[in-house]
Structure 1
Amino acid sequence: MQLYNKLNMPIVTIQKALLNFKEILPTNKAIISWVCLVLNTHPKEKRYEVTVRLVEENEIRLLNRKYRGKNSSTNVLSFPFVYKCGIEGPFIGYILISPHVVARESIKQNKSFLAHFTHIVIHGSLHLLNYDHIKKSDANNMEKMECKLLAKLGISNPYR
């Protein structure tokens, strides 16, 4: 599913590569709105395009091992798209989410699945805008932005 608005709004494509996820997922419209919330906080001259792919736990574990050297599942991976030879384009990257991991974490952290899933979409989207959490100062900046965006949706600070 794609959302496009002639007013230079982001295009967000949702891919579902899930075979055995039995929980109720957020709607495509909700996921798209969360990505757009993040992207619209960083207006640019160009239109953004992003693909969000919901995947089985095994796929995200294999990608986490290949690209991050960690042989474990994770909730989200973001892959910024880099154009060659200084060329710029609207596509900024992929966000992969494992709803299986998000569901397990939400139970363990005593959070609603929807609130945690929303946080993960926002987190992954911020990574595409070069936010990171490797250094403490960068992590604080990213967490502040996540909390600000989640508050707009009525979701409390996920780090408490």
Structure 2
Amino acid sequence: MLETYLTLDGTILIDIDILVETDDWADEASLQVLAKKAIAAAWQVLDGGQQPESELSLVFTDDAAIKELNNDWRDKDKPTNVLSFPAFPIKPGQKPGPMLGDIVIARETVEREAVEEQKLFDHHLTHLIVHGFLHLLGYDHIVESEAEEMEDLERKILAHLAIPDPYALSVTDDQSD
């Protein structure tokens, strides 16, 4: 497991624990860099400012493992691209506590969607990290108005990273959860 500390102005904000469960992923150091950029951009766009130290876990796994989680937690017996498990329920805009939660991402689904939607793999992966992070911060997409707000934030965050609008390029419905 690899840990990285995301800092703004030298203050520790978020401790990112990375666990790579399957061999098909890039090395932990590369995933750490990508995750750190995604979370830092999200925090900046959300204007999170200074906050107490928090922690989140990123698990890079495969379709079999995420299918089991999706079935156990959501009664959906199929793989998905990303699942988020907030440690504590918060509303958008609230300051998170010391533990944000877990984000789990499935390699095969991410790769398949990137190919189908003609996106760069790292761009799609970054989008899913941002998507999962927003869920940990209380954002959701069940209600249409909330979905629009969340997608707008995702677009702004990804634009901050020079990544094209993921919804404009998408040729299939987003299955992120």
Stretch deviating more after TM superposition (107-116 or 145-154) = 107-116
Moved over 6 A (4+): none
Quote the residue 2:62 is aligned against. Answer: 56
Asked whether the equivalents of residues 87 and 102 of structure 2 are also in contact (C-alpha less than 8 Å), the reply is: yes
Match of 2:31 among 27, 32, 47: 27
TM-score by length of 1: 0.88
1:90/1:136 Cα in 2 relative to 1: closer, same or farther (>3 Å)?
Answer: same
Contact 1:81–1:93 (8 Å) recurs in 2? yes
Is the 8 Å Cα contact of residues 14 and 53 (structure 2) preserved in structure 1? yes
Cα RMSD (Å): 1.9
Q: Verify: 1:98 aligned to 2:99, yes or no.
A: no
- The answer to whether the aligner puts 1:124 opposite 2:132 as a matched pair is yes
> C-alpha offsets along residues 74-107 of structure 1, whole Å, 9 cap, x if unaligned?
0000000139xxxx84111000001211000001
Residue 3 in 1 paired to residue 9 in 2?
no
C-alpha separation between the residues in 2 aligned to 1:27 and 1:54?
9
AA partner of residue 32 (structure 1): K
Distance 1:80 1:121 in 2: 14
Q: Which runs of 5+ in 1 are unaligned?
A: none
Distance 1:39 1:148 in 2: 11
Q: SS at the partner of 1:132?
A: coil
Q: What is the TM-score of this pair, normalised by structure 2?
A: 0.80
Structure 1 residue 38, shift from structure 2 partner: 2.1
Q: Is contact 2:4-2:32 (8 Å) kept?
A: no
Following the alignment from structure 2 to structure 1, what is the Cα–Cα distance between the partners of residues 79 and 31?
A: 23
Counting only pairs closer than 5 Å after superposition, residues 40-55 of structure 1 correspond to structure 2 as 40=44, 41=46, 42-43=48-49, 45-55=51-61
- Aligned to 1:2, the other structure's residue is in SS state strand
Q: Which consecutive unaligned segments of at least 5 residues does structure 2 have?
A: 90-95, 169-177
Aligned length: 154
